[in-house]
């Protein structure tokens, strides 16, 4: 579990194909790498990956073929910047929103509008993400927790304040660039509860008849 608050920006140093995917070598601040342990989860541009080795100012992580296909990691080139965030620890502040690190789909940056010192970014999102978007709701874009500013059909906008622009590579992305999108987890659970799958039996509430059948009440 993550918060969408980026700890550091790393760089992609190597991509080594393997049987079930790719091993990525990612450069990161030495102080951050020193605290990583094998098996730890790190969100890389919003995709949860497992640390398999550390060495100095870099670490390696294996990405499955599905992860490479579903996210933008498959198109990243050596030297590209990557957002990094370690998993949330018990007692940490939840400064962003709950991010699982499971990318739902990719979106596309379609428009940039200056807004004083800030900038408004418009993204096009596929239906798998668009149906969860609400104004003032949350979304993770390349792992960055952002507030949805406006929603128009299959498009939505977010505003990057000067501070955010200085710490995320998202601010430098060109129109037409693809991004990883993860919709708000709470919205997914609400949808599931409100619209159960057709194959699921309706859930019966707890009543006296149910308790009697289970033997908790005597029959009269």
pLDDT at position 196 is 75
Q: Where are the domains of the chain?
A: 8-86, 105-194
- For the domain covering 105-194, report its CATH number: 2.40.30.20
Q: Is residue 199's pLDDT more than 80?
A: no
Report pLDDT for 75. 95
204 falls in which pLDDT band (50, 70, 90)? low
The hierarchical CATH code for the domain 8-86 is 2.40.30.20
Strand order in the sheet with 178-183: 144-147, 138-141, 178-183, 105-115, 118-124, 155-160, 150-152
Rg of the chain (C-alpha set): 21
Mean pLDDT of the chain: 91
What pLDDT digit, counting tens, does each position of 22-31 carry?
999 999 999 9
Enumerate residues 6+ apart whose C-beta is below 8 A from 125: 105, 107, 133, 154, 155, 156, 181
Summarised one tens digit per residue, pLDDT across range 104-153 is 999 999 999 999 999 999 999 999 999 999 999 999 999 999 999 999 98
On whether the CB atoms of residues 54 and 89 are closer than 8 A, the answer is no
Q: 85, 143 in Cβ contact below 8 A? A: yes
pLDDT of res. 215: 64
* Top-confidence residue, 135 or 94: 135
Rounded distance between C-alpha atoms, residue 12 and residue 82, angstroms: 7
The answer to whether domain 8-86 and domain 105-194 are alike in fold is yes
**208 in helix, strand or coil?**
helix
Asked if residue 1 has pLDDT above 80, the reply is yes
For the cut 90, the answer to whether the pLDDT of residue 168 exceeds it is yes
Phi and psi angles of residue 66, each rounded to the nearest 5 degrees, phi first: -65, -45
Q: How confident is the model at residue 187 (pLDDT cuts 50, 70, 90)?
A: confident
**What average pLDDT does the segment 10-35 reach?**
96
* Most distant pair of Cα atoms in the chain: their distance: 76
* Residue 99: Cβ within 10 Å count: 25
Q: What is the dihedral of CA 25, 31, 37, 42, to 10 degrees?
A: -60
DSSP string covering 98-135: -B-S---EEEEEEEEEEETTEEEEEEE--HHHHTT--T
Rounded to a whole number, what is the distance in angstroms from the first to the last CA of the chain?
Answer: 51
pLDDT value of residue 220: 46
Q: Binning pLDDT at 50, 70 and 90, where does residue 70 land?
A: very high
């Amino acid at each position: 579990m993550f918060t969408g608050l980026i700890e550091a920006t790393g760089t992609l140093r190597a991509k080594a194909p393997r049987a079930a995917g790719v091993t990525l070598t990612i450069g990161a601040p030495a102080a951050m790498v020193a605290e990583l342990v094998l098996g730890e989860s790190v969100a890389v541009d919003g995709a949860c990956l497992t640390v398999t080795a550390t060495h100095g100012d870099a670490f390696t992580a294996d990405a499955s073929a599905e992860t490479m296909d579903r996210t933008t990691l498959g198109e990243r080139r050596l030297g590209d910047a990557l957002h990094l965030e370690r998993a949330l620890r018990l007692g940490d502040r939840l400064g962003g929103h709950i991010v699982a690190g499971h990318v739902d789909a990719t979106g596309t940056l379609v428009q940039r509008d200056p807004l004083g010192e800030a900038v408004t970014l418009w993204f096009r999102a596929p239906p798998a993400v668009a149906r969860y978007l609400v104004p003032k709701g949350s979304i993770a874009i390349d792992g960055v927790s952002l507030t949805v500013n406006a929603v128009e059909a299959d498009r939505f906008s977010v505003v990057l304040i000067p501070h955010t622009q200085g710490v995320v590579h998202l601010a430098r992305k060109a129109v037409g660039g693809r991004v990883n999108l993860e919709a708000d987890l709470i919205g997914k659970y609400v949808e599931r509860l409100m619209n159960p799958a057709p194959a699921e039996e309706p859930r019966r509430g707890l009543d006296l008849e149910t308790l009697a059948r289970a033997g908790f009440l005597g029959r009269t």
